[in-house]
Amino acid sequence: MSIGYNHVRARIHVQAIADNFKDMNRRGGNCFAVVKSDAYGHGLSTVAEALAGAGARTLAVGTVGEAAVLANTTFTGRVVSLLGPQLPEDYALAVKRRVICFCGRREQLRRLDEAAGAAGGKALVSLKFDTGMRRLGFLPEEATEILELLRGLVHLEAVMVSSHLATADEPGAEAFVHEQATRFKEIVRVLRAGGLVVEANLCNSAALLAFPEYHFDGQRPGISLYGGNPFYGTSKENLGCCLRPAMEVTSRIYQVHDLKSGEGINYGLTYCAERDMRVAIVGVGYADNYSRALSGKSWMVVAGQRVPVVGRVCMQMTAVDVSAVPEARAGDTVWLMGGDSAVAIHACELAQWWGTISYEVYCLMGMNPREYVLDR
Ligand SMILES: *Cc1c(COP(=O)(O)O)cnc(C)c1O
């Protein structure tokens, strides 16, 4: 959270996150709840405590610094850092907090071993392999050499082996998932044959839902916990349809007035009224992470009805057509996301208008001041 100058509020239903976790955990056991990037904009500490209450025993953060934040919560389980140590200052912190670090470079292993030795302890590691994403990780053919390297690093304990799928949420790209999973299986086999006792984990939300055959020992769902359907708008949409959105975003109406036929509105006058109408000026704009790309493309909910955005999204204001909502008044609440169930705007839908994915919508909208709703 960092935006503090507006009337936008991200309301978080923590029970929905707890319920989604239980649901995902039933489908694929031993779920590591992914809470990186401030729990996808939902608030790291509060979400961590809700997940702990729902039975989560392992949380996955991004940076090692986020793991340190968890130390000040009631969550007492294991913490995995998906990025692992990246900067020099991360190594000692990772050892001190007993974070299980994703490591995909030899240098990371050596420096973590050194830091653990200096602290008189052990560092916990998840060996991260690149099976096709081409971002981070050891290559499959390095598995044997990594085993040898580990024999010399006596302050390290490799407790997991991981890889990440590039196309799990794309119907039609299953062949590449199978290819990556096949490579991963072979890596796991080699490491175990070499004597390592490692928990294998491969699946993100999409893979957990769509590829039960690749569940291995642990799963790493993120977006699904917050109610995002990784298959929204695809032929596999049904797989994630029962997840409950946890974030609603509201603002307030500043002013309501008439717009006469032929009048334009907002910068560039890009929208021109085709008939006499009424517009509401809503207190949200791109400074609140409500993207200017939504100009003329988005909808909001006012008094139980969907109303279209007209003209450009400005820095702190956006106009909507409320001709069909005569009761709309200054001060009324407007939903940018969520709203009465029949017309509720889902993050995935907002993402589509925006030209992005629900992940980005959650991360960005979640930077607005948050309020937590504990019942529901
Ligand atoms: C973010 C992340 C996940 C979670 O992915 P979702 O698609 O949000 O479920 C899992 N594994 C890794 C390595 C990640 O970085």
pLDDT tens across 306-352, in order? 999 999 999 999 999 999 999 999 999 999 999 999 999 999 999 99
Whose Cα sits closest to atom 1 in ligand 1?
A: 222
What CA–CA distance (Å, rounded) separates 312 from 269? 8
| Cα–Cα distance for residue pair 259/153, rounded to 1 Å | 72
Query: Which ligand 1 atom lies nearest to the CA of residue 164?
Result: 13
* Arithmetic mean of pLDDT, 124-130: 98
**How much is the average pLDDT of 53-80?**
97
Domains of the chain: 14-226 (3.20.20.10), 247-373 (2.40.37.10)
Place of tokens 């209450």: 53
Question: What is residue 312's predicted lDDT score, i.e. its pLDDT?
Answer: 98
Q: In percent, how much of the chain has pLDDT > 90?
A: 98
Q: Tell me which residues have their CB closer than 6 angstroms to ligand 1.
A: 34, 36, 82, 164, 204-206, 220-224, 230
The predicted structure's pLDDT at residue 374: 83
Asked whether the predicted pLDDT for residue 376 surpasses 70, the reply is no
Residue 375's pLDDT band (boundaries 50, 70, 90)?
Answer: low
C-alpha 344 – ligand 1 centre gap (Å): 26
Q: Sign (positive/negative) of CA torsion 346, 350, 355, 356?
A: negative
Residue nearest to atom 3 of ligand 1 (CA): 204
Question: What is the DSSP code (8-state) at residue 31?
Answer: B
pLDDT at 365: 98
Token pair of 316 as six digits = 């702190």
Mean of pLDDT over the chain: 97
Is the pTM value of this prediction over 0.95?
yes
Mean predicted confidence (pLDDT) in 271-298: 98
pLDDT tens for 217-269 read 999 999 999 999 999 999 999 999 999 999 999 999 999 999 999 999 999 99
Those residues whose C-beta lies under 8 Å from the C-beta of residue 50, and which sit 6 or more positions away, are 14, 15, 17, 18
**Catalytic residue numbers, as ranges:** 36, 267
Ligand 1 atom closest to Cα of 208?
9
